[in-house]
Chain A
Amino acid sequence: EKIFHNRDHSDVDVHAPHHAELIVDTDTARQFLSKYGFLKPLRLDESQSKEADYILGGERLHMRIQEGRSASRTGIETDVSANIPDLISGLRQFQVMSGLPETGVFDDATKAAMNKPRCGVPDRLSPTGSSVKDNSTGSSVKDNSTGSSVKDNSTGSAPADPVASNATINITDDQSDRNLKPASPR
């Protein structure tokens, strides 16, 4: 419950919740794709993922390696936009997964899909980046009862019951809302 002290709660800081940063350009799209597993984050070895002195080729170098960008010997960060093929393939995979046209371009439809409310669990879980696609055959389950008629062909003597004679009574499996038994509240 929000903390308040004034009787009229006027001191409650009804702060407007801060809003998620929209996905508006290839940079924010890249972050989205990386977060949800469509881009392999630059594979940095654990031991190199921080600022430190490194011995490379017999030369002592002070280097800061920051995830998501390639690090050069001189520590000058080179823009990873050189990884455009990476971005395009990530976009394509996201578009395929989302049922969008597979353009590989950060187009409006892709932008809209990226800004939808969604679950924070990555879409591609296994480190090998194997996609998690539902490969079911989508086989629908055969409906095994569509109002089967009960036809009794027994050669019973006197018609002992309405079904024994050759009359046929259609007994239908009723799931309409007329079934008498109450369903649970749901």
Chain B
Amino acid sequence: QKRHLLTLLSKRRSKQEAGNLRQIAFSKQLLKWRLIGEGYSSQLSIDDQRYIFKLAFRMWSEVSPLDFVEDVHSPLAEIDIRLGFGTGRHLGCTQAFDGAGQEFAHAWFLGDIHFDDDEHFTAPNTGYGISLLKVAVHEIGHVLGLPHIFRPGSIMQPSYLPQDTGFEIDWLDRKAIQKLYGGCRGHFSTVFDWIRKERTPYGEVVVRFNTYFMRGGWYWMYENRNNRTRYGDPVAVQMGWHGVPSNGVDAYVHVWTWTTDAAYFFKGTQYWRYDGENDEAFTEDSEGCRYPRLISEGFPGVPSPIDTAFYDRRDSLIYFFKGKDVYAFHVGTHAVVSGYPKKIREAFPALVPGDHPVGHLDAAYLSYTHNAVFLLKGTRFWRLLGTREQRLKPSLPRNSLLPGKEVDQQWFDICDVHKTNLKM
């Protein structure tokens, strides 16, 4: 029973609204795909075909809560999306292909994708032919429920635009797919702005930062000015942070004073100092300290493991969070400040009664973009009252927490990909 574009509403998948094609969407988040054996192209190696499709699915996974996995073992009936090449009448399809030129592929909502093998499909960035990657991303968009979108820059435009190297799924296409499947949510192990000093060609020292979100052994660089993560992220922690535990960290702290510029990663009972010059963790720093080092040695009085931490340069304190408590550690006296630990509620009171993370935080993030500190827990964040706000309203308690908000309403499209697609 061949499924057809306009009439397909398979029993196996729910449709959200009868009749309105826009609302057809898969009702599950993990989708299996397969390049079917009778549908290999004669133009590219099978490995290239599979790699390109894997990358195309990953690109949609980077901007939606969907995960895709290639499944070459399950019975075909259990495969959600089947891809194949053919020419003319092909693969039992009711819509024959027309030969080289014009129609190069078609797809079914929640169904299969066919590519016209009379077209000259090429691997990404070869500069000629029809980019199989770009066509695959477009057709997968249809399968997921997107119609043609007549907007310059949209990957869902019906006509093929000659291969512009490095095409990506833009903001509005992301919002279109998120309208069908929702945004990307999840907790983070830590979030931080990585600061480094550089000398311009004119010899002046400039200070730059990049923002990183870490979750387990993976991380995203977040491009604040573009409101999205770097294309192609997440990547493995060990790819970008050499010598830091590959399964991720609990916290990151950057102590920055006239005399100290030290970046620390914390994991379990240990911590590492990171060498920004050589882009790797120190084994021994200029003060003769060897790493990894016990937290109890480097920060006496601070328990481990910790949930998270941040350095507040206003009072030279590192705030270490563990459970419902917070420890203030003075980097000058090298000791926990008297009166600590305190309850987080006490040291960081809620502005709106009851609207408080209470404890067991995921991340404490000092953001240079927002010039503010954020406490993150689960899918929500709370911003600390800023210095300027404090001055305007001296009656407000210091370090008050403003009401919580959803992380995905401030930082966009930080999406996981399936573990089989992580290393590409």
| Chain A residues within 8 Å of B, Cβ to Cβ | 1-2, 17-23, 36, 97-99, 113, 115-123, 125-127, 132-134, 136, 138, 141, 143-146, 148, 150, 152-154, 156, 159-164, 169-175, 178-186
Count residues on chain B whose CB falls below 8 Å from chain A CBs: 83
Give A28 Cβ to nearest chain B Cβ, in Å.
11
Pick from B142, B172, B221, B256: contact of A136, CB under 8 Å? B172
State the 8 A-B residue pairs at the shortest beta-carbon distance, nearest first.
A120-B106, A184-B232, A145-B224, A174-B208, A161-B257, A20-B98, A17-B118, A186-B232
Bits for B280-297, please: 1 = Cβ < 8 Å to A, else 0.
Answer: 000000000000000000
Pick from A98, A116, A152, A173: contact of B313, CB under 8 Å? A152
Contact of A19 with B101 at beta-carbon distance under 8 Å, contacts A117-B130, A125-B21 already known: yes
Pick from A117, A133, A185: contact of B232, CB under 8 Å? A185
Give A157 Cβ to nearest chain B Cβ, in Å.
10
Bits for B126-147, please: 1 = Cβ < 8 Å to A, else 0.
Answer: 0000100001001100100001
Contact of A117 with B101 at beta-carbon distance under 8 Å, contacts A126-B21, A136-B172, A183-B231 already known: yes
A170 to B200, CA, bound (A): 13
Beyond A138-B172, A183-B230, 18 additional contacts (C-beta under 8 Å) are: A17-B87, A17-B99, A18-B99, A19-B100, A99-B150, A117-B103, A119-B104, A122-B5, A126-B20, A132-B149, A154-B313, A160-B257, A170-B206, A172-B208, A172-B209, A173-B225, A174-B208, A179-B208
Residue B158 at the A interface, CB < 8 A? yes
Residues in chain A near residue B102, CB distance under 8 A: 20, 23, 115-118
For B257, the closest partner residue in chain A by CB is A161
Contacting pair B232 A132 (CB below 8 A):
no
For A165, the closest partner residue in chain B by CB is B258
Residue B164 at the A interface, CB < 8 A? no
Contacting pair A97 B368 (CB below 8 A):
no
Which residues of chain B from 326 to 382 have a CB within 8 Å of any chain A CB?
Answer: 332, 368-371
Contacting pair A175 B210 (CB below 8 A):
yes
Contact of A175 with B223 at beta-carbon distance under 8 Å, contacts A119-B158, A150-B368 already known: yes
For A154, the closest partner residue in chain B by CB is B314
Contact of A119 with B139 at beta-carbon distance under 8 Å, contacts A20-B103, A148-B371 already known: yes
Contact of A184 with B209 at beta-carbon distance under 8 Å, contacts A17-B118, A19-B99, A132-B147 already known: no
Among B67-75, B233-241, B400-408, the stretch in contact with A: B233-241
| Chain B residues within 8 Å of A, Cβ to Cβ | 5-6, 19-21, 42, 55, 87-88, 95, 97-107, 118-119, 130, 135, 138-139, 142, 147-151, 154, 158-160, 166, 171-172, 175, 194-196, 198, 206-212, 221, 223-227, 230-233, 235, 239-241, 256-258, 276, 279, 313-316, 332, 368-371, 387-388, 424
A171 to B332, CA, bound (A): 24
Contact of A117 with B148 at beta-carbon distance under 8 Å, contacts A2-B42, A144-B225 already known: no
Residues in chain A near residue B154, CB distance under 8 A: 134
A115 to B256, CA, bound (A): 62
The number of inter-chain residue pairs (CB within 8 angstroms) is 219
For A163, the closest partner residue in chain B by CB is B313
Contacting pair B106 A162 (CB below 8 A):
no
**6 CB < 8 A contacts A-B:** A19-B118, A125-B6, A141-B171, A148-B369, A148-B371, A154-B387
Residues in chain B near residue A182, CB distance under 8 A: 235, 239-240
Pick from A23, A120, A179, A185: contact of B424, CB under 8 Å? A185
Give B39 Cβ to nearest chain A Cβ, in Å.
13
